Amino acid sequence: MKLRTNAPDYTHYRMLISFAHPDDESFGMGGAIAYYAQRGVSISLICATNGDVGTVDAAMLDGYDSIGALRLEELRCAARLLDIRDVITYGYRDSGMMGTPENEHPDCLWQADEDTVVGRITHDIRRRRPHIVVTFDPFGGYGHPDHIFMHRATTRAFHAAGDPNEYPEQITGGLAAYTPAKLYYTAFPRLPLRLLVWQTRLRGDDPRRMGKNHDLDLQAAVDNLLPTHTRLNVARYQSAWDAAARCHASQQNPRHTNSFLDRLQRVIFRHQDFTRAWPKPNGRDRLERDLFAGIMPEIRSDIRSDIGADAGADVAGNTGGG
Ligand SMILES: [Zn+2]
């Protein structure tokens, strides 16, 4: 569904989002994805792991071989509702948190060869030629090893994709070197995050051990916040955002709540913030209101037309670990 809007024509713009788990897209930036998808931006999503380590109620696993299979089905549901037509899964095992046995598993992303993952992301950038690449900040939002790994690998791939000497076999294989216009990191909005920490303490909960998997450290997230360079008002996209978040029913849905404080929090979270990593801000930039701000039509280069066709196959064919 295209939104009736006076906004510029976005239908030639492409965005690549590079994340780690099935649910990062919905819980992390579902509002921004709905905002751009409804304007016609074609959105590709890399999901590097199958989310195998998430805590899941046994009853929810009925009909699934594994937690990973269930979570990839939840991802398909969210992608449908957010109108992400190109979902690319890498099939690594979820690495769990630092110091856990999952973090030592040979198939997990944390143990993967970083150059190999950088090569895969570089390939996806060269093939899809996005104008914008979005990934996690250096701290991975709240310190999850898979988020940190994808931050590093995606940042390296963003710069490698434009250099024909990097992964030259991709160039001889028919892909052209390509540098996207901008690289962004997702950022929690500062004030709402502080309020959330305060509210959590008030409830008697530990802000360092939040979420269903007790691996969400809100205090560290506050301590590691980077400056916001772009702020999107996603208030009109809350319902699409909610619907996508509800797909991830096996994980606690942070948006499915009814208390007054929680509803207040949703009003505060009507913005999604981003840190611009490239081109580097010069300190005099005004707050951007659009990730595509300043991107000229002439760099909306053509793209291979066969991308959409293999998107479903990517999700369907890659449900195993490793
Ligand atoms: Zn995640």
- Rounded to the nearest angstrom, the distance between the alpha carbon of 21 and the centre of ligand 1 is 5
Which amino acid does the sequence have at 35? Answer: Y
Spatial separation of the C-alpha atoms in residues 26 and 34, rounded to whole Å: 10
Rounded distance from Cα 51 to ligand 1 centre (Å): 8
CA dihedral 53, 59, 64, 68 (to 10 degrees): -10
Measure 48 CA to ligand 1 centroid, in angstroms.
10
For 56-90, the DSSP string reads --GGGGTT-SSHHHHHHHHHHHHHHHHT--EEEEE
DSSP code for 232: E
- Cα-to-centroid distance, 283 and ligand 1 (Å): 30
Q: Ligand 1: distance of its center to the CA of 186 in Å?
A: 12
Which run of H or of E encompasses 145? Answer: helix 145-160
Q: 108: which strand partners?
A: 93
Q: Give per-10-residue mean pLDDT for the chain (322 aa).
A: 58 96 92 96 97 86 93 97 97 92 95 98 97 96 92 98 98 97 91 84 87 77 91 92 91 59 63 94 88 72 44 36 33
pLDDT of residue 309: 37
What's the Cα-to-Cα distance from 27 to each of 9, 56, 100, 191, 229, rounded to whole Å? 27, 17, 24, 18, 21
Structure tokens at 275: 């840190």
Domain coordinates of the chain in residue numbers? 14-316
Integer angstrom CA distances of residue 249 from 57, 81, 88, 169, 175:
10, 14, 21, 41, 39
Tens-digit pLDDT profile for residues 210-259: 776 677 788 888 899 999 999 999 999 988 998 999 999 998 655 555 55
CA dihedral 58, 59, 64, 65 (to 10 degrees): 30
pTM comes to 0.86
**CATH code that applies to domain 14-316:** 3.40.50.10320
CA of 270 to the centre of ligand 1 (A): 21
In the reported structure, the alpha carbon of residue 45 is separated from the centroid of ligand 1 by a whole-number distance in angstroms of: 13
Neighbours of 146 (CB within 10 A): 27
pLDDT of residue 27: 87
pLDDT at position 135 is: 98
Cα(75) to centroid(ligand 1), Å: 12
Gap between the terminal Cα atoms of the chain? 36
Q: Using the mean position of ligand 1's atoms as its centre, give its distance from the Cα of residue 8 in Å.
A: 32
Cα of 63 from ligand 1 centre, angstroms: 24
Give the alpha-carbon dihedral of 114, 120, 123, 128, to 10 degrees.
Answer: -120
